[in-house]
């Protein structure tokens, strides 16, 4: 069992909706309702390259469908004064499902649909949180989780957040893997561990747990408590991905990229 499914079942008291590579469950915690969504491995998946938990053609569309179904249902309930439920992405994805057939069938459109569903839900008033419990890699993370208003990650050595493998970075930069690993100690953006990711200002909170693979009762209690507090914070003050550039950590480690954004925005808005 991958971590995403383990945490889905733990947080939802064993219940889960759907089958195959995308699972969802609706929960009620105190005054909050939420839909949990995760991508899981499936040895019987139609596309072989998505059988180890990757986000592929089917997964992107299924994520989008799970989120939009909640948004549409809540739009009807809103007429009765019911607040939009939260969307919680449980993230353990080893990358997107690259392949000849996947590319031909519109992998890019599928992943874009998932990202758009998360963004649309957030903009429609649904608090969106991503809880990173395992790997959050490349286009899979872009499609499943990165559009959240707040990112939370387990404080665990098994968390990986990156765009390319160390071997791939070494080939592209024409450096040895040892040199790439050493660079990570100087430039957090090139590292893969959760603490380096936190240095970029990306995380709202880190959650220490006893067992990231098989969460204990106390782990589940702490996770629910932190998720509830984060959801209440988002309801009180709406936030989006761009707000992550405004915190103190990002100001230290991403100063140049923030400056580039400012210059691009100034030129974009300049009169012709």
Average pLDDT over residues 232-249: 89
Tokens 């991503």 -> residue: 130
* DSSP string covering 135-192: EEEHHHHHHTTTTSSEEEEE-STT-EEESS-HHHHHHHHT--HHHHHHHTTT-GGG--
- Which residues make beta-bridge pairs with 151? 130
Q: What pLDDT does residue 4 have?
A: 95
Model confidence, pTM: 0.92
Q: What pLDDT does residue 214 have?
A: 96
Q: What's the CA gap between 35 and 12, in Å, rounded? A: 10
Q: What pLDDT does residue 188 have?
A: 72
Higher-confidence residue: 20 or 228? 228
Residue 194, H or E segment: helix 194-199
Average pLDDT over residues 28-48: 94
Q: What pLDDT does residue 169 have?
A: 81
Write down the CATH number for the domain with range 3-240: 3.90.226.10
The pLDDT tens digits of the residues spanning 81-90 come to 789 999 999 9
Residue 215 has pLDDT above 90, yes or no: yes
Question: What's the mean pLDDT when you consider all of the chain?
Answer: 91
Q: What pLDDT does residue 272 have?
A: 63
């Amino acid at each position: 069992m991958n971590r995403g499914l383990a945490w889905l079942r733990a947080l939802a008291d064993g219940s889960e909706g759907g089958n195959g590579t995308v699972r969802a469950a609706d929960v009620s915690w105190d005054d909050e309702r939420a839909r949990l969504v995760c991508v899981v491995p499936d040895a019987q998946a139609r596309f072989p390259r998505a059988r180890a938990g990757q986000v592929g053609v089917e997964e992107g569309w299924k994520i989008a469908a799970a989120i939009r179904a909640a948004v549409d249902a809540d739009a009807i309930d809103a007429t009765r004064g019911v607040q939009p439920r939260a969307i919680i992405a449980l993230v353990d994805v080893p990358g997107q499902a690259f392949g000849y057939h996947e590319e031909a069938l519109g992998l890019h459109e599928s992943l874009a649909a998932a990202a758009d569903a998360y963004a649309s839900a957030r903009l429609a008033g649904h608090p969106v949180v991503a809880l990173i419990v395992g790997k959050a890699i490349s286009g899979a993370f872009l499609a499943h989780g990165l559009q959240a208003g707040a990112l939370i990650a387990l404080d665990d050595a098994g968390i990986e957040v990156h765009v390319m493998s160390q071997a791939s970075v070494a080939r592209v930069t024409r450096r040895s893997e040892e040199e790439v690993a050493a660079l990570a100690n100087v430039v957090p953006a090139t590292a893969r561990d959760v603490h380096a990711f936190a240095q970029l200002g990306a995380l709202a909170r880190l959650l220490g747990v006893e067992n990231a693979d098989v969460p204990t009762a106390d782990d589940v209690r702490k996770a629910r408590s932190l998720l509830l507090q984060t959801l209440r914070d988002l309801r009180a003050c709406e936030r989006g991905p761009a707000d992550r550039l405004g915190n103190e950590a990002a100001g230290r480690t991403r100063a140049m990229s923030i400056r580039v954004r400012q210059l691009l925005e100034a030129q974009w808005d300049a009169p012709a």
